[in-house]
Amino acid sequence: MLKTNGERLWNSLMAMAEIGATANGGSSRLAVSAEDAAGRARFVDWCEAEGLTVSRDAIGNMFARRAGSEDIDPVVIGSHLDTQPKGGRFDGVYGVLAALEAVRTLNEHDIATRAPIEIANWTNEEGARFTPAMLGSSVFTGAMALEDGLARADADGVRLSESLEATGEAGEAPLGRSFDAYFEAHIEQGPVLEDNDKTIGVVTGGQAIRWLDVHLTGHSAHAGTTPMAVRQDALFAASELIQALESRVAETDGLMTTIGEFHVAHASRNTIAGELRFTLDLRHPEDGVVDALIDELHVLFERRCQPRGVECRIDLHWRSPALPFDATCVGHVRDAARALEVSWQEMISGAGHDAFHLARHCPTAMIFIPCAGGLSHHEAESIEPDHARQGADVLLHAALARAGRV
């Protein structure tokens, strides 16, 4: 049975990891930075060596096209090359280079397909430099206006449009064009496959994600002269809210929350915190559960803040609905895993991926492989070379089943 070249795939992963390499063995290629541009350039070199035609759209998404025997909508495979500030070597990049390895294998065996096959590298999937995450695929699919995406700025005030211009990564490929299907391979970013001793995750859909910004406004005052009973301390209020949130989330199976950022305005060692902001990440497989919790938090937080004289405002920063993947595409992944005789299980994606936006644009499915300890977004992120190859094999056969072998 046709299989990819695991050694070649691993060598490509290690070569890409050299760009933006960190001291502790990770990668740092923030979206549309100089390091990301260098990684993109290396990717282009590899694609052009395989005879692929590379294009970019206005938000910087990249597409490397292998022609089919018919000029019909392409089957698209890929992920992203950008990383967290101190990320791992495999998050995102594995999906792009597994897709490249699948195409290399087709070329090596002179296998023609009816539909064209394209490799996608989506811009700013991580959301580490520009928010929100999955920005490039969001703009491509029309979930975000191009003008809005280009106007997003990083922490230094640099707009995405300026970074695209500086790196030459904007292009003229049309946004929103039709795809026949989309397949994305990715490391799991969790421990389920490893714990269950499975090699392949057949991903049937993604869970609901909501990003909230919580703003608390009390009153700044002197730490040594203001009695405790009359303080309007936003930080003490926040601590009570956080404890209440943790207790509430524990009551519902599958519900998860994370406070990723916490900012005290005008912080000083001897000043009562008068204003602060923190972020909430809420996730569950069902939209209704998450939305009901948000409604509940408005009441829960207000009830605890009011006696302290602290005002609370909750803003929705980003919403990613839960969604099922296409049954036929999921079936192609499942059939490939069975035919290749690799161990597999069906699962829901806990993390957000570009595939979530694409699933509203065209038939979509995902393939997961294990990562050591479920660790991701970390320099110590690690996968097994053989798992990488097996995931690429499944990707190859799922895409080939959809594209049609001539």
- Domains observed in the chain: 6-207+322-403 (3.40.630.10), 208-320 (3.30.70.360)
Three-state secondary structure call for residue 379? coil
Task: Tokens for 224, please give them.
Answer: 């040594």
Supply the pLDDT for residue 350.
Answer: 86
Amino acid in position 221:
A
Q: How far apart are CA 347 and CA 368, in angstroms?
A: 9
- Cβ atoms of 388 and 98 within 8 Å: the answer is yes
pLDDT string in tens for the chain (406-residue length): 999 999 999 999 999 999 999 999 999 999 999 999 999 999 999 999 999 999 999 999 999 999 999 999 999 999 999 999 999 999 999 999 999 999 999 999 999 999 999 999 999 999 999 999 999 999 999 999 999 999 999 999 999 999 999 999 999 999 999 999 999 999 999 999 999 999 999 999 999 989 999 999 999 999 999 999 999 999 999 999 999 999 999 999 999 999 999 999 999 999 999 999 999 999 999 999 999 999 999 999 999 999 999 999 999 998 888 999 999 999 999 999 999 999 999 999 988 899 999 999 999 999 999 999 999 999 999 999 999 999 999 999 999 999 999 9
Task: Tokens for 198, please give them.
Answer: 């499975």
Q: What are phi and psi of 356, to 5 degrees?
A: -65, -45
| Residue 49 neighbours by CB under 8 Å, 6+ apart | none
What is the model's pTM? 0.85
The sign of the torsion formed by the CA atoms of 203, 205, 207, 211 equals positive
Supply the pLDDT for residue 321.
Answer: 86
Q: Are strands 200-206 and 344-349 parallel, antiparallel or unpaired?
A: parallel
Question: By C-alpha distance, which of 235, 307, 218, 228 is closest to 269?
Answer: 235
Task: Tokens for 59, please give them.
Answer: 């938000």
Question: By C-alpha distance, which of 377, 367, 353, 374 is closest to 91?
Answer: 377
Q: How far apart are CA 178 and CA 74, in angstroms?
A: 8
Q: How far apart are CA 164 and CA 303, in angstroms?
A: 46
How many residues comprise the chain?
Answer: 406
Residue 2, number of CB atoms within 10 A of its CB: 15
Three-state secondary structure call for residue 366? strand
Q: How far apart are CA 53 and CA 15, in angstroms?
A: 22
Q: Are strands 311-320 and 208-217 parallel, antiparallel or unpaired?
A: antiparallel
| Residue 370 neighbours by CB under 8 Å, 6+ apart | 187, 188, 193, 194, 198, 199, 383, 384, 387
Q: How far apart are CA 272 and CA 254, in angstroms?
A: 37
